[in-house]
Amino acid sequence: MPATRPWQWSRRWTIVSVMVLGVVGIGLIPLADTVTGEATILSAPGERQVITTQRAARVRAIYVRQNDWVRKGQLLAELVSDDLEQTRMEGQRKLAEARSERETARQYLALTIQKGEGAQLQRQSSALRAAQLQAEVDGLTTGNPSPRIRQLQGQQQEKERQIQGIAAQLQIMQAQLERYQGLVQAGALPLVKLDELRREMISLQTQQNTLEAQIQTLDHQVATTQKEMTDELQGRRQPEVAATQVALRMGHQEVEAARATLQKWTAQVQSLEVQAQHLQRQADGLKLRATVAGVVMTGDLDLLEGQQLPEGKEILTLAQTTQPTLRVELPQSEARRVRSGMAVTFRPQDGGLEGYEGKVLAVPPVTTPPNEAQPQQKAMVGVNVRLEEGQPLTLGTKGYAHVQLGQTCLYQKIGREVLKLIPLGRFF
């Protein structure tokens, strides 16, 4: 075998060094490090509305079906509760009766107030008349008689003046009579003149007697009037005042009783109205409406129509699609390297090469231990990704998501792939 020359060894080492340096250089080539996993479009966490029954009820109608788009406030389903409806009808009947009783009480209160006002006027009138009579009776002793008494007394005074005038005339005629008698006895005056004077005197005396009789009659009328006034005051006006006072007091009591009755029915109406509003809210609660805009996720909704459901029974689920969430399934070994905020590109299975961008929301802690039946690299972890708003994706869309981990060297990439093929955890 020919001896190897020194220059040949030098050339071989040079080639080997170049090859080693080439391999090392290739291993140090920077590559984009990504993790890929199967992904599904879901609604964002907390952006689902689960429609449940608030009480036991029967499904009257469901107005939406699976995958229907609904707007906020849209009527989704209508339930009916026979017990609630019966309670509402009974409450409406009681409320109508209470309102009728309240109106009757209001009218009766108005009537009693009107009667009380009439009794007040009657009492005032009776008291005024009694006061007037009392003043007239008091005037009999104080020298200030009533107009009726004053009128009678005035007539008496007039007749007494007439009597005084007649008495004066009779005095004069008596003196004249004595003179005429002397003249007749002396034959100086005819007897006829004396008779005429006597007839005139008799006529004046008759008038005087008549006036005195009239004065006595007026005295009797004054006494009778005084007695009538006293009797009317004591026997009629004073009891009348007392009776009107009693009637007024009873009228006040009646008004207060009517007011209390009105207040009772008013409070009853208010209580029943509150109950009716509460029952109406419960009835409105049987009309199930969407609190968010989204897509109906539940299927076979038509089978629920006509069924009696218990309280708390789920009827359907709505999912918002304004900003969907991407659920990415990654092996535990790869999920350990994912961090919140990393960029993600999602490509739907039927979407060609079009990609949708997003960022990792959170990575759940990796706690599932590896075992013989489920090697570590096969244990899966769900990673949530928030896609950018306004991207036209529907719930349930499936595809592949590529999580951008950053830059890595080629040798590191190859090493991780080798470790996936050879589970060293089984041997060490």
Residues of the chain with pLDDT > 90, as a percent, come to 15
**Residue bearing the bigger pLDDT, 51 or 425:** 51
Last residue within a domain, chosen from 255, 281, 307: 281
368 has pLDDT over 80: no
**Residue bearing the bigger pLDDT, 101 or 123:** 101
70 has pLDDT over 50: yes
Check whether residue 157 and residue 35 sit in a common domain: no
Check whether residue 42 and residue 53 sit in a common domain: no
29 has pLDDT over 60: no
C-alpha dihedral (340, 343, 347, 348), degrees to nearest 10: 30
For residue 397, the enclosing domain spans 29-47+320-428
Check whether residue 125 and residue 273 sit in a common domain: yes
* pLDDT given at position 334: 79
Last residue within a domain, chosen from 227, 261, 281: 281
423 has pLDDT over 50: yes
Last residue within a domain, chosen from 219, 253, 281: 281
Check whether residue 208 and residue 308 sit in a common domain: no
Check whether residue 62 and residue 94 sit in a common domain: no
**Tens digit of pLDDT for each residue in 165-224?**
888 888 888 888 888 888 888 878 888 888 888 898 888 899 888 888 888 888 888 777
In a domain, 156, yes or no: yes
272 has pLDDT over 50: yes
374 has pLDDT over 50: no
How many independent structural domains does the chain possess? 3
In a domain, 355, yes or no: yes
**Residue bearing the bigger pLDDT, 356 or 32:** 356
Check whether residue 73 and residue 187 sit in a common domain: no
As beta bridge partners, residue 37 has: 401
**Tens digit of pLDDT for each residue in 93-115?**
999 999 999 999 999 888 888 88
End-to-end alpha-carbon separation of the chain, Å? 47
* pLDDT given at position 134: 64
Cα gap 84→285, rounded to integer Å: 11
**Tens digit of pLDDT for each residue in 229-242?**
676 656 666 666 66
Mean pLDDT, rounded, of the chain: 78
400 Cβ contact list (under 8 Å, min separation 6): 36, 37, 38, 39, 346, 347, 349
In a domain, 153, yes or no: yes
How would you label 149-178 residue by residue, b for 16+ Cβ within 10 Å and e otherwise? beebeebbeebeebbeebeeebeebeeeee
**Residue bearing the bigger pLDDT, 154 or 45:** 154
**Tens digit of pLDDT for each residue in 128-161?**
676 666 666 666 566 666 777 778 778 888 888 9
CATH number, residue 413: 2.40.30.170
Cα gap 208→160, rounded to integer Å: 9
38 has pLDDT over 70: yes
388 has pLDDT over 90: no
**Residue bearing the bigger pLDDT, 17 or 101:** 101
377 has pLDDT over 50: no
Q: Which long-range contacts (CB under 8 A, 24 or more apart) does 122-130 make?
A: 122/244, 122/247, 123/241, 123/244, 123/245, 123/247, 123/248, 126/237, 126/240, 126/241, 126/244, 127/241, 127/244, 129/237, 130/233, 130/237, 130/238, 130/240, 130/241
* pLDDT given at position 79: 92
70 Cβ contact list (under 8 Å, min separation 6): 64, 76, 290, 293, 294, 295, 296, 318
Confidence category of residue 265, pLDDT binned at 50, 70, 90: very high
Check whether residue 330 and residue 407 sit in a common domain: yes
Say if residues 201 and 170 touch (Cβ distance below 8 Å): yes
Check whether residue 210 and residue 299 sit in a common domain: no
In a domain, 275, yes or no: yes
Check whether residue 302 and residue 332 sit in a common domain: no
In a domain, 23, yes or no: no
Question: Taking Cα atoms as reference points, which of 362, 372, 374 lies closest to residue 335?
Answer: 362
pTM of this structure: 0.48
**Tens digit of pLDDT for each residue in 317-364?**
887 766 667 788 888 877 888 888 888 888 888 766 677 888 888 777
Check whether residue 121 and residue 217 sit in a common domain: yes
Check whether residue 192 and residue 111 sit in a common domain: yes
- 191-232 vs 147-185: helix crossing angle, rounded to 10: 160
* pLDDT given at position 16: 65
* Amino acid identity for residue 319 in this structure: A
Residues of the chain with pLDDT > 70, as a percent, come to 70
Cα gap 265→271, rounded to integer Å: 10
In a domain, 41, yes or no: yes
CATH number, residue 301: 2.40.50.100
Check whether residue 358 and residue 337 sit in a common domain: yes
In a domain, 189, yes or no: yes
28 has pLDDT over 60: no
In a domain, 102, yes or no: yes
